[in-house]
């Protein structure tokens, strides 16, 4: 009985430290990722695969995005200001590349304005998550709910749609 109580007590003492270590690992991996993967599922996996198993499912992707959102929300108010959103992207660029690119920074500013649907100057989690849903769906080319190597063989539906010539309106025969 005493041994059982000792095991439980040790577990309770160690649990918060283990949880913190797991969070720090996720946060560190999230912080190091820059993005810019476009239509490439391999780059998407490299950025979002927290457990390094070569695939990213919706739960792992959301875990990554929530950690990124929380890290970006520097004042902890549950929303992202333009300065927080663009500043976080700038910090990741400097960390990865040692510099920022003016064009990329302008794009980050434009993205913030597009994602802030209600134009209140703050991006909520729901506004932020909506862009992530589109990103995940685009990377999951075969639509199986997991982004993995098989998505490299599948066609990019958005690219195929963009490549199709626009249909010309049919004119009515003259009477």
pLDDT tens for 129-146 read 998 998 899 899 999 999
pLDDT tens for 55-107 read 999 999 999 999 999 999 999 999 999 999 999 988 887 766 666 678 888 88
Structural domains of the chain in order of their starting residue, each with its CATH number = 20-151 (1.10.238.10)
The Cα 151–Cα 156 span in angstroms is: 9
The answer to whether the beta carbons of residues 119 and 126 sit under 8 Å apart is no
The Cα 23–Cα 97 span in angstroms is: 25
pTM over cut 0.85: no
The Cα 90–Cα 107 span in angstroms is: 11
In 139-153, which positions are buried (b, 16+ CB within 10 angstroms) versus exposed (e)? bbbeeeebbbeebee
pLDDT band with cut points at 50, 70 and 90 for residue 127? very high
Question: Where in the chain does DSSP place strands (E)?
Answer: 56-57, 80-81, 122-123, 146-147
The Cα 151–Cα 39 span in angstroms is: 10
Beta bridge partners of 41: none
């Amino acid at each position: 009985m005493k041994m059982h109580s000792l095991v439980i007590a040790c577990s309770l003492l160690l649990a918060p430290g283990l949880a913190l270590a797991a969070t720090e690992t996720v946060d560190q991996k999230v912080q190091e990722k820059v993005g810019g993967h476009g239509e490439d599922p391999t780059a998407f996996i490299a950025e979002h695969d927290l457990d390094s198993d070569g695939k990213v499912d919706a739960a792992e992707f959301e875990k990554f995005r929530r950690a990124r959102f929380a890290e970006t929300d520097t004042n902890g108010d549950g929303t992202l200001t333009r300065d927080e959103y663009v500043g976080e992207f700038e910090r990741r660029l400097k960390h990865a590349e040692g510099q920022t690119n003016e064009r990329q920074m302008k794009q980050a500013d434009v993205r913030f304005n597009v994602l802030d649907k209600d134009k209140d100057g703050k991006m909520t989690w729901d506004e932020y998550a909506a862009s992530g849903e589109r990103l995940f769906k685009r990377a999951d080319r075969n639509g199986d709910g997991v982004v993995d190597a098989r998505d490299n063989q599948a066609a990019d539906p958005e690219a195929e749609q963009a490549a199709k010539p626009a249909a010309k309106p049919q004119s009515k025969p003259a009477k």
